[in-house]
Amino acid sequence: MSTYFLHTDIAWLIIAALFAVSFLIQIFYHFFFFLRLARRRLTEEVTSSGEDVSVIICARNEGNNLERNLPSVLEQDYGRFEVVVVNDSSEDNTEDVLERLKKKYKNLRSTRINKDLKFRHGKKLALTIGLKAASYEWVLLTDADCKPASPLWISQMQKHFVSPLEVVLGYGGYKPARGLLNKLVRYDTLFIAMQYFSFAMAGFPYMGVGRNLAYKKSLFFDNKGFASHLKLESGDDDLFINEVANKINTGMELSHLAHTCSDPPRSWKNWLRQKRRHLTTGFHYRPLHRFLLGAEVLSRLLLYGTFFALLLNNVFLPVVIALFIFQLIVGLFIRRIIMARLNEKNLLLISPLLEVIITLVNIFCVAGNILTLKRNRWR
């Protein structure tokens, strides 16, 4: 009987130790990484870099989105810029919309990829063609379903088009709507932005989002574009940035005027498919980036898991509850500031629940990707 109690005590000590370690790791991430973003000052003062800009949009069957969003891009309050739309094998009214808008806007250019049943391609080919067609050195990327938050989107982003910067990260959010799915999508987007902004500020830039991202055309072609990950469906934004970005050449713009806003996924199936596709790229990040991101997710999972387990142990209960509440308050305080920075509203109070759900969703998606990869290898 004494051996049983000894083993039980050791088990509880191990769980308590895991809780303590995961607590310390989470506190480290909040104070070393995320607090940097919370303390970042916002400025909406526009200073000109003097650079001309090429905005590139890849569109496949996006006629309605282009009709709704493209004018707000073409009417930006900026000196000299062009908008290059790559019509990627569209079968809807995309070409008609572009031809009609070209008559009104002289700064709109387009190129087209014809459909070839023998050759299957993704967005990377369309983006490469768009970059080749761009007239200017600095290119600013967005999507057809994105709308700039203001007429000063280009002006705010171009403030950073100065040496030694070659990459500028922006924020691309989603429109708010009713329902749990919308809150999950928006919080997931917010948390990913928290990571890539704060990691970049700490000297570890590892990704950007194609909804709002700028870099030099020469940087793309000097590094052979997407050659190293051309076979992957995703990675046109994060894997390329993971390869070329460093603490010296990477800047960011957080101003609300520089945001873009997109239509969110409207079904769970579409969102989960999107999540699985995006998470496939994480396996190809640099080892240090994989470690930093993996440690954050694992420690967060362990923190919640061991906390709920230790609720059954009266010995550790007061300390465990106090530490958990402390990290929860710290997290909410920092997130509150960051949400204001990124203009995300009505997510704070529900954020602990959303965080747990998204952590489980990410684990599910990664596990599904690994199983699919092993199945394909077996075949």
Do 194 and 229 fall into the same domain?
A: yes
pLDDT beyond 80 at 164:
yes
CA 30 distance to own-chain centroid: 18
Q: What is the pLDDT of residue 370?
A: 73
Same domain, 162 and 204: yes
Q: Same domain for 263 and 299?
A: no
Q: Is the pLDDT of residue 378 over 50?
A: no
Q: Across the chain, where does the E strand assignment appear?
A: 53-59, 81-88, 108-113, 138-143, 146-148, 167-169, 172-174, 213-216, 250-252, 260-262
CATH number for the domain that contains residue 62: 3.90.550.10
Q: Are 177 and 264 in contact (CB under 8 A)?
A: yes
Q: Calculate what percentage of the chain has a pLDDT beyond 70.
A: 93
Indicate the residue type of 236.
D
Number of folded domains that form the chain: 2
Tell me: the pLDDT tens digits for 198-219?
Answer: 999 999 999 999 999 999 999 9
Calpha distance 144→127 (Å, rounded): 13
Evaluate whether residue 259 is within a structural domain.
yes
User: Within this chain, do residues 227 and 86 fall inside the same structural domain, yes or no?
Assistant: yes
Are 235 and 311 within one domain?
no
**Residues 23-52: pLDDT tens digits?**
999 999 999 999 999 998 877 666 777 899
Q: What is the pLDDT of residue 1?
A: 47
CB within 8 Å of 171: residues ≥ 6 apart: 193, 197, 209, 212, 254, 258, 259, 260, 342
- How far is Cα 379 from Cα 152, in angstroms, rounded to an integer? 52
Write down which residue in 272, 301, 335 finishes a domain: 272
Q: Report pLDDT for 374.
A: 53
pLDDT in tens, 223-268: 998 888 877 777 778 899 999 999 999 999 999 999 999 999 889 9
pLDDT at 377 over 60: no
Whether residue 212 lies inside any domain: the answer is yes
Question: In this structure, is residue 47 part of a structural domain?
Answer: no
Between 313 and 43, where is the model more confident? 313
Q: For residue 158, tell me if it sits in a domain.
A: yes
| Whether the Cβ atoms of residue 74 and residue 103 lie closer than 8 Å to each other | no
Residue 278 lies in a domain: no
Give pLDDT, residue 8. Answer: 66
78 plus 31 within the same structural domain: no
Distance of CA 148 to the CA centre of its chain: 17
**72 and 190 share one domain:** yes
Domain shared by 240 and 170, yes or no: yes
Same domain, 34 and 67: no
Q: Give the pLDDT mean for 8-28.
A: 91
Residue 6 forms part of a structural domain:
no
* Residue 296 structural domain: 20-39+288-378
The pLDDT of residue 7:
54
Residues 94 and 223 occupy one common structural domain:
yes
CA-nearest of 113, 64, 114, 104 to 83 is 104
* Domain end residue (candidates: 272, 301, 325): 272
pLDDT averaged over the chain? Answer: 90
160 and 249 together in one domain: yes
Q: Residue 182 in contact with residue 107, Cβ under 8 Å?
A: no
The answer to whether position 326 is within a domain reads yes
Rounded-to-integer distance, Cα 83 and Cα 32, Å: 39
Task: List, in order, residues 6 or more apart from 137 with CB less than 8 Å away.
Answer: 51, 52, 216, 217, 218
Banded model confidence at residue 191, pLDDT cuts 50, 70, 90? very high
In this structure, the answer to whether residues 334 and 199 fall within a common structural domain is no
Look up residue 126 and give its amino acid.
A
pLDDT (tens digit, 9 = 90+) per residue, 314-358? 888 899 999 999 999 999 999 999 999 999 999 999 999 999 899
What pLDDT, on the 0 to 100 scale, is given for residue 376? 46
116 lies in some domain: yes
